[in-house]
Amino acid sequence: MDLTGKIIAILEPRSGVSARNGNSWMSQEYVIEVPGQYPRKMVFTVFGEDRIKQFNIQAGEEITVQFDIDAHEYNGRWFNDIRAFNVFRGQPAQTVPAATSVAGAAPQAAPFPPAQPAAVSQAANAPFPPAQEPAGENAADDLPF
């Protein structure tokens, strides 16, 4: 999935040592805001010190983030994990090569179809034809019986 917006916050990096293999790890979270009539915000994570340095995300920067969404359960509650695997400055090209995430090859999002004007879209999807105003002197009595 892709999301384009402005970085409004950079949270403190987290690091530690893996209990399974003893290797050190690092992650950092960022808040991106998508412009619009009702701006939306999303927190995403960049995992790995090498990727944090490679992406070099700065506050106030306009970026496009490619990310994967996963959920996990902990003590009967579910939590979302939004992990970035690629970052572009500004708008990416239409044909972006697939990047490899930690879990394997990431799927590419299909582009949205072009938007239709509202009037055409509503008329085409309406279950009933639009109501018409009655004409003539018997306008109040338009019943067939």
pLDDT digits (tens, 9 = 90+) for 47-102: 999 999 999 999 999 999 999 999 999 999 999 999 999 999 866 555 444 444 34
pLDDT of residue 107: 43
pLDDT of residue 47: 95
Question: 108: which residues sit within 8 A by CB, 6+ positions away?
Answer: 96, 98
pLDDT of residue 104: 40
Question: 112: which residues sit within 8 A by CB, 6+ positions away?
Answer: none
Cβ neighbours of 21 (radius 10 Å): 6
pLDDT digits (tens, 9 = 90+) for 63-78: 999 999 999 999 999 9
pLDDT of residue 99: 44
Cα separation, 140 vs 118, in Å, equals 32
Nearest Cα to Cα of residue 44 among 54, 29, 61, 56: 29
User: Given a cut of 90, is residue 142 above it in pLDDT?
Assistant: no
